[in-house]
Amino acid sequence: MGKLARKDDKFNVLVEFHKKKTADFRRGHREQAPDPFGISGCGLWYNDNSRLRLVGIMTAWKYPKEHLPLMMGTRIDLVRAAIE
């Protein structure tokens, strides 16, 4: 997963992911999330409390043994430009 070492702000979005500190908003407490294997290609959404916005496509997850609780995505504007 050396991809995160090559992160570029022009192309990538980083998100903190603390597996053991994930909030369950429906139940109102924290619980441990599953490992996010297979998350590549999923949407990365931003909630600004008034609307949800698609901001990226997930590409990588840093394993806990590497002590970096991060997930990385490619910015959606670049994905859209590649499709067009």
pLDDT tens for the chain, 84 residues long, are 444 456 777 888 888 888 788 877 777 778 888 888 888 899 999 888 888 999 999 988 875 556 677 888 999 998 888 888
- Please check whether residue 1 lies inside any domain of the structure: no
pLDDT for the residue 82: 86
Full residue range of the structural domain in which residue 25 is found = 12-83
Q: What is the DSSP string of the chain?
A: -GGGGG--TTTEEEEE--GGGEEETTTTEEEPPPP-TT-TT-EEEEE-SS-EEEEEEEEEE--GGGT--EEEEEEHHHHHHHH-
- Please check whether residue 46 lies inside any domain of the structure: yes
pLDDT for the residue 15: 86
Number of domains in the chain: 1
- Please check whether residue 2 lies inside any domain of the structure: no
